[in-house]
């Protein structure tokens, strides 16, 4: 691993273990119930997390063997694969999810220091993404979509370590206006958007992270302007 990736492998392992417990605990009927993502059942969320693990493992393996490859053949293929896997039997979906989790872990562990140089494409021709971002991408996918399952695990269960990583990483996203967030349960202030000024939003780190990813309506948060900035879902 590179120095700037620090604790990410450990956090991914912890996040994987928690998600595996939740997925293993779902009944067949619960897979077909709605998740917190519009239009997606829990099966869709599990399918997405599964295919994301396979895609990112492929990216890492390609970098490791010197044969770069994109995450997905196309956006359409990615969407079709999610729909198809979500429609599989729960036993097949669970088995593939568990296998994909292990495949990503193996691909991550096989990377050498020199393998992390360079970039990869989400789809052919798309803007390049730094290979060094892959562990962060996977960690966010597992933790955020675990909460999206709406199966007992919520943003309130995110560890302080993950919340710091999430709040840090989201400062790189564009926002419609500048603002600051000040978690009530973490030390520090995070600034978002270009320029100075803007409201200060406070609340727990988990509630802030949930809102910053465009989820919920800002439950439990307060803005010193009386209005929360609008966040795009992602």
Higher confidence at residue 4 or residue 55?
55
List C-alpha distances in Å: 207 to 53, 127, 134, 179, 183.
Answer: 26, 31, 24, 16, 9
In order of their start, the domains of the chain are: 3-153 (1.20.120.450), 160-223 (3.30.1050)
Res 164: pLDDT: 98
Over residues 140-160, mean pLDDT: 98
Over residues 147-175, mean pLDDT: 96
Confidence of residue 171 (pLDDT cuts 50, 70, 90): very high
> Which backbone phi and psi does 171 adopt, to 5 degrees?
-65, -15
Question: Structure pTM?
Answer: 0.95
Res 232: pLDDT: 87
Over residues 169-183, mean pLDDT: 94
Instruction: Quote the DSSP letter at residue 34.
Output: B
List C-alpha distances in Å: 82 to 76, 85, 143.
Answer: 10, 5, 19
Of 19-28, 108-117, 225-234, minimum mean pLDDT range: 225-234
Rounded CA-CA distance 75/165 in Å is 27
> Which backbone phi and psi does 125 adopt, to 5 degrees?
90, -10
Res 233: pLDDT: 84
Res 234: pLDDT: 78
Is residue 2 predicted with pLDDT exceeding 80?
no
Exposed, middle or buried, 60 (CB in 10 Å: 0-12/13-18/19+)? buried
Over residues 194-215, mean pLDDT: 96
Res 6: pLDDT: 80
Percent of the chain clearing pLDDT 70 (strictly above): 98
pLDDT in tens, 69-96: 999 999 999 999 999 999 999 999 999 9
């Amino acid at each position: 691993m590179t120095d700037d990736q620090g604790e990410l492998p450990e956090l991914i392992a912890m996040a994987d273990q928690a998600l595996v417990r939740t997925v293993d605990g779902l009944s067949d009927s619960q897979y077909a119930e709605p998740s917190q993502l519009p239009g997606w059942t829990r099966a869709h969320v599990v399918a997405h997390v599964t295919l994301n693990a396979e895609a990112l493992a492929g990216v890492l393996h390609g970098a490791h063997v010197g044969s770069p490859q994109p995450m997905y053949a196309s956006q359409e293929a990615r969407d079709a694969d999610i729909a198809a896997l979500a429609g599989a039997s729960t036993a097949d979906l669970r088995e593939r999810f568990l296998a994909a989790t292990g495949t990503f872990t193996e691909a991550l562990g096989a990377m050498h220091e020199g393998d992390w140089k360079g970039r990869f494409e989400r789809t052919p021709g798309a803007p390049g993404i730094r290979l060094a971002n892959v562990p962060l991408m996977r960690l966010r996918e597992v933790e955020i979509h675990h909460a999206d399952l709406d199966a007992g695990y919520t943003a309130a269960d995110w560890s302080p370590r993950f919340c710091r990583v999430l709040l840090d990483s989201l400062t790189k996203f564009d926002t419609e206006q500048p603002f600051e967030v000040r978690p009530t349960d973490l030390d520090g202030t995070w600034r978002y958007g270009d320029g100075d000024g803007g409201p200060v939003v406070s609340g727990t780190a988990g509630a802030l992270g949930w809102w910053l990813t465009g989820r919920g309506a800002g439950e439990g948060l307060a803005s010193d302007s009386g209005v929360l900035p609008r966040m795009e879902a992602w």
